Amino acid sequence: MARIFRRNPEKNKGLFRQWLLPLALCLSLAAPCAALAVDAAASTPSAQTAQRAAATDAGASLHAAPTPATPAASQVPAVAAPQDNHPWWFWPLALLGFCFILGIIAVMAGVGGGVLFVPLVSGFFPFHLDFVRGAGLLVALAGALAAGPGLLRRNFANLRLALPVALIASACAIVGAMLGLALPTDVVQTCLGAVILGIAVLLLVSKNSVRPVVTKQDAVGLALGMNGVFLEPSTGEVVEWKTHRTLAGLLFFIAIGIMAGMFGLGAGWANVPVLNLLMGVPLKVAVGTSKFLLSITDTSAAWVYLNQGCVIPLMAIPSIVGLMLGSVVGVRLLAKAKPKFIRYMVIIVLFFSGAKALMKGLGW
C-alpha cells in the first residue's frame, strides 16, 4: 500500500482534496449561519419569556416609568438562560463526526439514517426537537436522492408500485408535519420515545422474506398495475412479481406518512415490512422502492419544516455531509463486518434512545 501511495502521488493528492472538500464546504457554509442559530434560539418561547423578565427587572432598577404588566407575565420568575461556552464551530464539528459514525452503522445495519439521527441527536445534543426533526428529514432525503436513480435504472425501484403509495404517504406526511409542529414539545417527545421503542421491537421480531409467494393478485393491485420483473444479479434469473392485500397496505401508508412527518424519521423502517411482508413484494424491490419513496415523502414534510423556520443550515449541512461520508465507508466495511451483530447493536441503541426520549418527554 505504501509503494502504491508513493507511485501515484498526484492521484492521492486529488483523492485527499476530494475528501477535504465536503469538510471545507461545511465550515464555510456554517459560519454565516451562526447568527441564524442564535436568532432561532432567541425566538423560542422560553427565551422570549426570559428576555421579558430581564427587561422588567432592568426597568425597575433604573426607576423608569412603570408599565402595566399582565398577571401572567408578572408571575413568571426570571430564570437565567443556560450559557454555552463552546465556540460556534464546536457543535457543527461534533455533528459531523457523530453523523459520520452514524452513517457507517446505518449502512451495515440496513436501516435508514433518519431513524437513528432523530432520537440520538435529540437525546444527546442541546438542540430543540423541532430543529432536530427538520434536519432528520433532510438527512433521510439526501440519502434517498443519492440512491434513487441507480435503483430505478436496475428495476429495483418500481414506479407503478411507488407512485400510488407516495401519493398517500406524502399527503399524510404534510399533515403529520403540521401536527408535530402544533403539539407541545413534551407530547411529541413522549410519542417519539414510544415510536422508537416500537421500531426496535419491529426490527427485533420481523423476518423479511426474500421472495414472498403470491398466488393471485387482488383487484386493487391489478387495477393500479402493481407488478413487474427484475433481474436477480446473483443468479441471472428474471423474477416476476405481483402484489396482494394491496388495499390494506395502502391504508398502512396513511399512518406511516403521518409518523414520517411528525417525527422526521424518514419511515424506511416501516416501508419495507409493509411492502414485503404484507403486500408480497420481493425484498430487493421492497428495499429499492422504499428508498425511492423517501425522496417524495420526505420532500413534502421537509417543506413544512422549512416554511416554519425549523431547518438550520448549521445543523443540516454537517449532518448530511457526515452521514454520506460515513455511508461510503460503511459500504466498504460491509463485507468484513458481521451484519447480525451490527443489527442487534442498533436495536440495543434504539431501545436506549427510545427510553431516554420517553423519559425526557415525561419529565423524569
Least Cα distance to 73 among 91, 57, 84 occurs for 57
Angle at 155 between CA 154 and CA 161, to 5 degrees: 155
For residues 129 and 188, the answer to whether their CB atoms sit within 8 Å is yes
SS3 state at 82 = coil
Q: Write the CB contacts of 68 (distance below 8 Å, at least 6 apart in sequence).
A: none
Phi/psi-derived region of residue 350, left when phi > 0, alpha when psi is between -120 and 50, beta in every other case: alpha
pLDDT of 179 reads 92
CA 3 to the chain's CA centroid: 42
Q: Which three-class secondary structure state does DSSP give residue 229? A: strand
Q: Give the separation between CA 299 and CA 293, rounded to whole angstroms.
A: 10
Q: What is the pLDDT of residue 174?
A: 93
Max Cα separation, the chain? 86
Residue 42 has what pLDDT?
Answer: 45
Gyration radius of the chain over CA positions: 24
Nearest-angstrom CA–CA distance, 318 and 322: 6
Please give the model's pTM, rounded to 2 decimal places: 0.70
Sign of the torsion angle spanned by Cα atoms 183, 187, 189, 190: negative
Check residue 54 and give its pLDDT: 42
DSSP 3-state assignment of 46?
Answer: helix
Task: State the alpha helices, DSSP H only, in the chain.
Answer: 2-7, 9-30, 34-42, 45-61, 71-75, 90-109, 113-124, 129-153, 159-182, 185-205, 219-224, 246-263, 268-273, 283-307, 313-333, 339-362
User: Cell numbers of 75, please?
Assistant: 408571575
Ordered per-residue pLDDT tens for the chain, 364 residues: 444 444 454 444 444 444 444 444 344 433 434 333 444 444 444 444 444 444 344 343 323 433 444 444 444 444 444 566 778 889 899 999 999 988 887 777 667 677 788 888 888 888 888 999 999 888 888 877 777 777 777 777 888 888 899 999 999 999 999 999 999 988 998 998 898 888 888 878 877 667 788 888 889 999 998 988 877 766 777 888 899 999 999 999 999 999 889 988 877 778 888 888 889 888 888 888 888 888 888 888 889 999 998 888 889 999 999 988 888 787 677 666 666 777 777 788 888 888 888 888 888 7
Determine the Cα–Cα distance for residues 77 and 300; give it in Å rounded to an integer. Answer: 40
pLDDT at position 353, please? 81
Burial zone of 297 (CB within 10 Å; 0-12 exposed, 13-18 middle, 19+ buried): buried
pLDDT for 251:
93
